[in-house]
Amino acid sequence: MGTTGQLSAVPEPKYWHLRTVLLRAIDSEFSTGQVLPNERELSARFGVARATLRQALDQLELEGRLVRRRGIGTLIAAPRVGVPVSRQEEGWPGAARSQAWRTIDCTTAPASAQLAKSLGIAEGATVHTVRRVRLVEGRAVAGESLHVPAAALPHLPGFRAESDRARSVLRQLERLEVDGESRSVELGVAEAEQAALLERPPGAPVLVMTTQYASAGRLVALAVSTYRADTCKLTFGEAGLVEVTPVGATAEVRTAS
């Protein structure tokens, strides 16, 4: 559309250029856990205003390269943690993953139009939704909503308590035989509820992974997981087939087993 020349003429913001310079310094001069010099020293070293410096530091913190600790200062963050997401490594979303996932609650309600479309069921059909948080070394790295159509679990027993409901749904789901699954990953931003769960500010970048599970030729579960993009890198296992498919201006990663 003839916009290349216009884009190339747009000047780079000062804070973004400083971000690049700071990254080079971080990689060459500092190690994980080391404290950066204070803002006054950094401003003097790079010849920038403190406002510009703060913008650059805020950006690097958002990207997970820096972490701020009250009473200590700004530290070099640890490398991203590899989080396995393939079924070969995690198993079904039931007892096999109970060590990694902690259940928050479970609700049973009619499916909205959007959820019904995603699950391939009629709008208003009953769906069980288990909300969970994934922990790595005691820290929350992901939140998940696992949606299971009630029709997929016809023999689900009654439950006396909320915790029994979640446990029953997960156990019954795990008893089904998986004959297909697909995963897609896209970049998103944390909404208020997700941000609070992950201890991140609203609008922080996250990786949203959607997983569909099939059994006996039909979709029996849909999991939407939101991972912290600043501390996590998702690993799909050596046996997983990975495709990168352009979706508009973004890229979608799909795996299938």
Q: Are residues 92 and 214 in the same domain?
A: yes
Domain with 30 in it: 4-76
Asked if residue 137 and residue 246 are part of one domain, the reply reads yes
Whether residue 98 sits in one domain with residue 67: no
Rounded to whole angstroms, the Cα distance separating 220 from 214 reads 5
In this prediction, what percent of the chain has a pLDDT beyond 90? Answer: 37
Same-domain pairing of 51 and 144: no
Of 54, 76, 98, the residue that ends a domain is 76
Q: How many domains does the chain have?
A: 2
Residue 70: what pLDDT? 86
Q: Would you tell me how many other CB atoms lie within 10 Å of the CB of residue 141?
A: 21
Is there a single domain that holds both residue 91 and residue 50?
Answer: no
Alpha-helical regions (H) of the chain: 4-9, 14-29, 39-46, 50-62, 87-90, 113-119, 162-175, 192-198
State the CB neighbour count (10 A cutoff) for residue 59: 17
Residues of the chain with pLDDT under 70: 1-10, 86-99, 158-163, 237-257
Clarify whether residues 155 and 232 are in a common domain.
Answer: yes
Domain identity same for 53 and 154: no
What is residue 82's predicted lDDT score, i.e. its pLDDT? Answer: 75
Answer whether 92's CB lies under 8 Å from 80's CB.
no
Same domain, residue pair 25 and 142? no
Domain identity same for 137 and 117? yes
148 phi, psi to nearest 5 deg: -130, 115
In this prediction the pTM is: 0.72
Residue with tokens 């912290």: 228
- What's the pLDDT tens digit per position in 64-101? 888 888 889 999 988 777 777 766 555 566 544 545 78
- Pairing label, strands 232-235, 81-84: parallel
Q: Write down the pLDDT at residue 244.
A: 41
> Is the CB of residue 214 less than 8 Å from the CB of residue 180?
yes
Q: What are the DSSP E strand ranges found in 99-231? A: 101-110, 126-136, 139-149, 180-189, 205-215, 218-228
Looking at residue 160, its pLDDT comes to 61
Looking at residue 191, which CATH number applies to its domain?
Answer: 3.40.1410.10
pLDDT at 8: 54
- What average pLDDT does the structure give for the chain? 81
Q: Are residues 58 and 177 in the same domain?
A: no
Is 53 in the same domain as 89?
no
Residue 38's pLDDT is what? 92
CATH number for the domain harbouring residue 38? 1.10.10.10
Last residue of a domain, one of 45, 76, 107: 76
Instruction: For residue 100, give every residue at least 6 positions away whose Cβ sits within 8 Å of its Cβ, in sequence order, or none.
Output: 90, 134, 135, 136
Residue finishing a domain among 16, 41, 76: 76
The verdict on 110 and 235 lying in the same domain is yes
What is the pLDDT, as a whole number, of residue 208? 93
Instruction: Return the pLDDT at 200.
Output: 84
